[in-house]
């Protein structure tokens, strides 16, 4: 058959080539390398930080976290959608706040969901907690603030004896017993089960609450120790001496450039920049001026320099 491709390939030697076979071999070699490397170097993932770990090894930090939530000082308190309706801190760009479009899809009341409800579950097997919770629920806002403030001050000078946090006597109302019960819940390893909404299922598929419980100080301290915070380029790191998500460097770099590095709307600003860059790359052939860049830069002449050299010789 006399076709352009046939004429082009005339007098050129040919040999059979099995692409499927090559792909299978490559897949097998890569799989074998992965198994060997995984066996030698183990997983780079840092062990999961659980409530039991924090409650046993850092009981004071655990209680400070629980107390902040009870006192209404958790950052999730005014985070906004999807957790609550407070949109004052929602990130926006040119007056547009995409985070608010979906509304409150995961309603969370930190005090109730993270402290009161878990303690109510404990009250089923520990009846002494019922009157304690009743005292807290019936108290005025000012009274609750007095109790939590006093307990917070006492925690600063607390000591730990055999895993128990010992504080000086003071006017803490029911807060002391509530915090003691929360510590017991954590040390027993049942905190996550009490927090997560679907813990009744065979497998927990929505650990939102247990993740948010320690997000402020505990997880932030662990991330800082592992060089995983935003200021440490954590988005492109892996735990330990392992390569991380290096392909996110073009995205991460803008977090370290003003004004995004100091802006309260840094996330959405970086997102908009990346979308604009992506659109420019996709539409490059249709943008006047920019679509002439390849010809002006002449990079193609470097790539095809052998052809140009032979053409010039003719």
Q: Are residues 97 and 161 in the same domain?
A: yes
Residue 295 belongs to some domain of the structure: no
Q: Are residues 269 and 132 in the same domain?
A: no
Tally of structural domains, the chain: 2
Tokens of 178: 């509530």
Q: Are residues 216 and 257 in the same domain?
A: no
Q: Identify the CA nearest to 179 among candidates 65, 50, 74.
A: 65
Residue 275 belongs to some domain of the structure: yes
How many whole angstroms separate alpha carbon 41 and alpha carbon 173?
Answer: 52
> What tens digit of pLDDT does each residue of 213-228 get?
999 889 999 899 988 8
Contact criterion met (CB below 8 Å) for 91 and 79: no
pTM score > 0.85 for this model?
A: no
Q: Where are the beta strands (DSSP E) in 34-186?
A: 159-161, 164-166
Provide mean pLDDT across the span 87-107: 91
Task: Evaluate if residue 147 carries a pLDDT over 90.
Answer: yes
Q: Are residues 71 and 213 in the same domain?
A: yes
Q: Are residues 249 and 213 in the same domain?
A: no
Contact criterion met (CB below 8 Å) for 155 and 67: yes
Q: Are residues 147 and 70 in the same domain?
A: yes
Task: Evaluate if residue 55 carries a pLDDT over 90.
Answer: yes
Q: Are residues 195 and 278 in the same domain?
A: no
Task: Evaluate if residue 25 carries a pLDDT over 70.
Answer: yes
Tokens of 298: 């002449």
Q: Are residues 61 and 187 in the same domain?
A: yes
Residue 155 belongs to some domain of the structure: yes
| Domain that includes residue 263, residue range | 235-282
Q: Are residues 108 and 79 in the same domain?
A: yes
Q: What is the pLDDT of residue 314?
A: 63
How many whole angstroms separate alpha carbon 144 and alpha carbon 196?
Answer: 26
Q: What are phi and psi of 173, to 5 degrees?
A: 55, -135
Which residues, listed in sequence order, are joined to residue 160 by a DSSP beta bridge?
165
Q: Are residues 197 and 247 in the same domain?
A: no
> What tens digit of pLDDT does each residue of 173-182 get?
999 999 999 9
Residue 87 belongs to some domain of the structure: yes
Residue 225 belongs to some domain of the structure: no
Question: Chain-centre distance of CA 143, in angstroms?
Answer: 36
């Amino acid at each position: 058959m006399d076709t352009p491709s046939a004429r082009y390939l005339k007098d050129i030697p040919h040999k059979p080539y099995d692409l499927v076979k090559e792909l299978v071999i490559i897949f097998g070699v890569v799989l074998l390398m992965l198994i060997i490397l995984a066996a030698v170097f183990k997983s780079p993932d840092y062990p999961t930080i659980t409530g039991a770990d924090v409650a046993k090894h850092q009981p004071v930090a655990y209680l400070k976290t629980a107390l902040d939530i009870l006192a209404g000082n958790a950052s999730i308190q005014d985070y906004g959608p999807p957790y609550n309706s407070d949109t004052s801190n929602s990130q926006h760009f040119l007056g547009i706040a995409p985070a608010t479009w979906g509304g409150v899809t995961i309603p969370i009341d930190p005090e109730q969901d993270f402290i009161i409800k878990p303690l109510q579950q404990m009250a089923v097997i520990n009846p002494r907690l019922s009157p304690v919770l009743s005292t807290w629920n019936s108290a005025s806002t000012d009274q609750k603030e007095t109790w939590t403030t006093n307990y917070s001050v006492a925690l600063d000078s607390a000591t730990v004896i055999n895993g128990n946090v010992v504080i000086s006597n003071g006017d803490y109302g029911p807060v002391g017993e509530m915090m003691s019960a929360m510590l017991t819940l954590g040390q027993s390893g049942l905190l996550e089960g009490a927090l997560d909404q679907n813990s009744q299922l065979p497998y927990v598929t929505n650990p939102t609450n247990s993740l948010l419980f320690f997000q402020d100080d505990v997880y932030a301290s662990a991330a800082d120790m592992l060089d995983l915070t935003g200021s440490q380029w954590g988005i492109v790191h892996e735990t330990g001496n392992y390569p991380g998500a290096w392909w996110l460097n073009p995205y991460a770099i803008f977090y370290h450039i003003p004004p995004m590095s100091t802006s309260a709307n840094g996330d959405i600003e970086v997102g908009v920049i990346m979308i604009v860059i992506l659109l420019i790359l996709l539409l490059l052939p249709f943008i006047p001026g920019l679509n002439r860049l390849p010809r002006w830069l002449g990079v193609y002449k470097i790539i095809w320099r052998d052809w140009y050299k032979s053409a010039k010789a003719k």
